[in-house]
């Protein structure tokens, strides 16, 4: 697979421009584990969606999903009584559905008949 370039990835997903470029490149290099020649003309898109999903799962980028993961699902902090409130679904942030990129990756894989591997 021809790995998408950093500039191609950032053009398609500018919300990750603030992320360390070496991290993006490293995750793009992992994409062939999940995206192979069976993806055909969708290889590059699949690799970029995989990368965006992984970055988001690490709390990287300027998306709401990344901020939620980075905060650990904290929705409210009260200083006086030290109250911390967590969202009900903070613990459910696993798998492809945990990010919009992962959901798109899964949908695309299903459409082209690629074998999906579940990730946590």
Assess if residue 120 is contained within a domain: no
What per-residue confidence (pLDDT) applies to 70? Answer: 65
What per-residue confidence (pLDDT) applies to 82? Answer: 67
Assess if residue 118 is contained within a domain: no
- What Cα–Cα distance (Å) separates residue 22 from each residue in 29, 59, 72? 11, 16, 24
Assess if residue 15 is contained within a domain: yes
Q: Where are the beta strands (DSSP E) in the chain?
A: 74-78, 83-86
User: Total structural domains in the chain?
Assistant: 1
What per-residue confidence (pLDDT) applies to 21? Answer: 97
What per-residue confidence (pLDDT) applies to 90? Answer: 46
Domain span holding position 96? 6-112
Assess if residue 71 is contained within a domain: yes
- Note down pLDDT in tens along the chain; length 120 residues: 578 999 999 999 999 999 999 999 999 999 999 998 889 999 999 999 999 999 999 889 887 777 676 666 555 667 676 665 555 554 455 688 889 999 999 999 999 988 766 554
Tokens of 38: 């069976």
Q: Name the nearest CA neighbour of 71 among 90, 92, 88, 51.
A: 90
Q: DSSP code of 15?
A: G
Q: Do residues 48 and 12 lie in contact, with contact meaning Cβ atoms separated by under 8 Å?
A: yes
pTM of whole model > 0.85?
A: no
CA angle 61, 12, 75 (to 5 degrees): 25
Assess if residue 63 is contained within a domain: yes
> How far is the C-alpha of 116 from the C-alpha of 25, rounded, in Å?
23
């Amino acid at each position: 697979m021809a790995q998408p370039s950093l500039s191609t990835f950032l053009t398609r997903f500018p919300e990750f421009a603030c992320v360390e470029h070496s991290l993006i490149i490293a995750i793009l290099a992992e994409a062939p584990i999940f995206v192979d020649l069976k993806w055909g003309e969708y290889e590059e898109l699949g690799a970029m969606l995989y990368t965006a999903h992984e970055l988001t799962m690490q709390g990287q980028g300027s998306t709401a999903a990344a901020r939620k993961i980075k905060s650990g699902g904290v929705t409210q902090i009260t200083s006086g009584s030290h109250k911390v409130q967590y969202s009900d679904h903070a613990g459910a942030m696993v798998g492809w559905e945990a990010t919009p990129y992962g959901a798109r990756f899964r949908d695309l894989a299903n459409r082209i008949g690629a074998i999906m591997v579940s990730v946590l």
